[in-house]
Homo-oligomer: A and B are copies of this chain.
Amino acid sequence: MGILYGIGVGPGDPMLMTLKAVEAIKKCDIIAIPSRKSVAYEIAVGAVPEIEEKPKLYLDMPMIKDVDLIKKKHLEVANIIIENLDKNIGFLTLGDPSIYSTFSYINDIVSKDYETVVIPGITSFSGAAALSNEALVQWDESLYVIPSIHDDSLVLRRGTNVFMKSGKSLSELREKLASVEYKSIKIIEKCGMEEEKVYEDFDSLPEKLSYFTLVVIKV
């Protein structure tokens, strides 16, 4: 049997891939990616061009919020992977596979009966902090990483608040922040990618922002 590798490719810059991720991609026989247009794949190509020669397993994983439907989809995808697990499969994920990745759900199913290996990646918030040349947390500050998937998650705490994948919920966040005091805000779109943009207030934001938008608020 082969091994399923969950490979974090980091936030955008191919040079932010780890030596271990590069090594794993090289030894995998099949590359699993969500679709023909995969950001994670584009990053990997930048560091390991030979990935283009490898057979691909395109997995249909739509961005939906219906929990039952998602579970059904994950089971389908896990079964497709298991069917192909006579070879080593490298499943690419943006950022780190342990933090809000689709891979983690597939891994929960596949790892029950088959060998899987997780290769960590640079998170988008580490990447964003490095690019802005400002520490995320120092000394006794706490770091809160909150997925902006649910309305009730928009709570600010003393320390550094990172809202992940917040492209759609920015107007809500803006409303909430109108009555809250905070030290600084940074809105980072497509962190580490070529089209990266950083905004330091809400007024300068364009009408539409990418799904890959990160908000860092220091309180």
Which A residues lie at the B interface, using CB under 8 A? Answer: 8, 10, 13-20, 22-23, 47, 96-101, 104-105, 107-108, 111, 116-123, 125-127, 129-131, 133-147, 149-150, 153
A153 partner, pick from B20, B138, B142, beta carbons under 8 A: B142
User: What's the dominant secondary structure at chain A's contact region?
Assistant: mixed
Q: Which residues of B contact A127 (CB under 8 A)?
A: 120
Q: Are A140 and B133 in contact (CB under 8 A)?
A: no
Kindly state the separation between the CA atoms of A194 and B179 in the bound complex, as whole angstroms. 49
From A10, A96, A97, name the one whose CB has the most chain B CB atoms within 10 angstroms.
A96
Q: Is A143 in contact with B99, judged by CB distance below 8 angstroms?
A: yes
Which 10 pairs from chain A and chain B are nearest by CB? Answer: A98-B129, A104-B135, A15-B20, A118-B130, A143-B145, A120-B126, A120-B130, A98-B136, A96-B126, A15-B19
Tell me whether B123 and A108 are in contact (CB under 8 A). Answer: no
- A111 contacts across to B, CB distance below 8 A: 133
A99 to chain B, nearest CB (A): 6
A184 to chain B, nearest CB (A): 14
- Structural contact, A17 and B15, CB atoms closer than 8 A: no
How many angstroms between the C-alpha atoms of A184 and B129 in the bound complex? 30
Closest Cβ of chain B to A84, distance in Å, is: 20
Q: How far is the CB of A73 from chain B (nearest CB, A)?
A: 13
Question: What is the bound-complex CA distance between A52 and B126, given in angstroms?
Answer: 28
Rounded to whole Å, the gap between the CB of A26 and the closest CB of chain B is 13
Q: List 5 A-B contacts (CB under 8 A).
A: A19-B22, A98-B125, A118-B130, A119-B130, A140-B147
The answer to whether A19 and B20 touch across the interface, beta carbons within 8 angstroms, is no
Q: A116 — which chain B residues lie within 8 A by C-beta? A: 133
Known: A138-B105, A140-B150, A145-B137. A98 touches B120 (CB 8 A): no
- CB-CB < 8 A to A10: which residues of B? 18
